[in-house]
Amino acid sequence: MSGLPLPHDTNSPYTHALPVVEDDDRPAPAPEEVETLHDAEWHRAREFAYEVASALPSHWLPLREALGGVLAEDVTAPIPVPHYASSAMDGYAVAGSQPWTVVFPEPVETDPRKMLTIPPKDLYRPVLNLEPGQATRIVTGGLVPAGARAVLRDEYAHLSEEGTVLTISADAPSAEDIPYGQNIRHTGEEVAAGDVILRGECLLNPAHIAFAAVSGHDMLPVRRRPRVTILLTGSEVVEDGIPEPGQVRDAFGPQLPTFVEMLGGSVDQLRRVEDTARAMLAALTEAPSGMASVLDARTEVVVTTGGTGHSDADHVRSALEELGAVFLLDGLAQRPGHPTFLAKLPEEGPFVVGLPGNPLAAMVSMFTVAEPLLARLHGDPAPTTLTVPAAEELPGQKVTALVPGYLTDGKVAPRDRVGANMLRGLAHADVLVVVPPEGVAAGADAEVVPLPWR
């Protein structure tokens, strides 16, 4: 910074823009105490994860990037559409009654040598005005000259041998006259300036983007998808091939980013972290080459997998505690997924969703904590469930159970192979069945969570 004036240099032209920092010996205010929700019941956990966050401010995106986003507010047209009177046909713009004398565009230069230096599209001055009894050539979309009353399409145009006099051909629908305004797209015919062209809350599709473009927009206000960093733990995990005994294939890396996107997030980083306290702390605080750290990357949510327990082998909690994180939701009264937690790093840092290492437990816990959290940050309503009659009795457990289920004849039945470490049941499921501790009788309504990929 050598060469720059000091902040309090009164001769500096920048002094007025810099805050004056006074010494303050007053103690910093104590952080607000937050009561942690322990072993939360499933419904309460979903509500809490939604309530604890606030919707992110919207942002403006270029049209191409806005595609697929949710429009944050109504959008109006800054100009009429069309914004000028244009021809709907190739033909002749005509003024007054026939016969018409054809008026041709004039060259911008009479010196042929200078004409060679002018781009072809600029060689001639367009005809901007017509007097009664005149006509001029026009193409589809071309500017209709002032004074023109209609456009005579090519099929019904008859030119004299010299090409200077125009009349309506004998085989035209009416060889006597052409209706006023025929084949002219009038200014504001589709949209008037100030009209609402897109309503807020709509999911922007290609037609919306095209309509916004022709209405004069380059960018649109879109709800911001929360940025998500994913930290995967597990030294025994291999990312490809057949795992050796003692190793497991990575179940999270291939699917979790897409899963997060389906729930409304936008994944900024996906990183694998060694199973050590130092590695987890580094992943949260240090920037690897070419990437920003979690704390300074403006990430709103961090999702971790594994290491959420309290043993010496679980390091996620200790790293968060060292950083001063507040645990908002610690443990769920559900199976699978009990060790799931929701924390928040200090100084407006990101939320941290700690998922268990077992794949089914982690994925169902995404619906309990991550789905409502991401919905709130994105400005969406709280996610809802459905009810479907149970095809058979669903026995209860000590806590709420989330069981992959399939739909048959309008009823829901549980899948098999649904242990916390198993994915077979979820891979072929239509819904997640929320089974309360008291169970669900056959034929009674069962609460189900829709799966975003079904």
The pLDDT value given to residue 46: 97
Amino acid at 336: P
CATH of the domain at 402: 2.40.340.10
- Which segments in the chain show pLDDT lower than 70? 1-34, 114-115, 122, 287-297, 313
pLDDT one-digit tens code per residue, 282-312 = 888 876 555 555 555 578 999 999 878 777 7
Domain identity same for 392 and 246: no
The answer to whether residue 162 sits within a structural domain is yes
Domain identity same for 330 and 424: no
Dump the DSSP string for 164-223: -EEEE-TTSS-SS---TTTTEE-TTSSB-TT-EEE-TT-B--HHHHHHHHHTT-SEEEEP
Q: Write down the pTM of the prediction.
A: 0.78
Tokens of 150: 């209609």
Domain identity same for 281 and 231: yes
Residue 340: exposed, middle, or buried by beta-carbon count in 10 A (0-12, 13-18, 19+)?
buried
The pLDDT value given to residue 314: 75
The pLDDT value given to residue 26: 55
Domain identity same for 157 and 275: no
pLDDT one-digit tens code per residue, 105-121 = 887 777 777 667 777 77
**What is the spatial distance between Cα 378 and Cα 438, in angstroms, rounded to a whole number?**
35
The pLDDT value given to residue 239: 77
Domain identity same for 244 and 312: yes
Report whether 414 contacts 433 (CB < 8 A).
yes
The pLDDT value given to residue 265: 95
Domain identity same for 176 and 321: no
**What is the spatial distance between Cα 231 and Cα 253, in angstroms, rounded to a whole number?**
9
Number of independent structural domains in the chain:
4
Cα of 334 vs its chain's centroid, Å: 31
CA distances for 401 relative to 9, 59, 227, 327, 365, angstroms = 66, 39, 30, 23, 11
Domain identity same for 430 and 405: yes
Mean pLDDT across the chain? 87
The pLDDT value given to residue 238: 74
Give the structural domain span for 352: 37-55+224-378
**What is the spatial distance between Cα 308 and Cα 338, in angstroms, rounded to a whole number?**
10
The pLDDT value given to residue 9: 37
The pLDDT value given to residue 5: 33
The answer to whether residue 30 sits within a structural domain is no
**What is the spatial distance between Cα 310 and Cα 390, in angstroms, rounded to a whole number?**
37
**What is the spatial distance between Cα 11 and Cα 15, in angstroms, rounded to a whole number?**
8
Domain identity same for 396 and 333: no
Cα of 119 vs its chain's centroid, Å: 42
The pLDDT value given to residue 291: 52
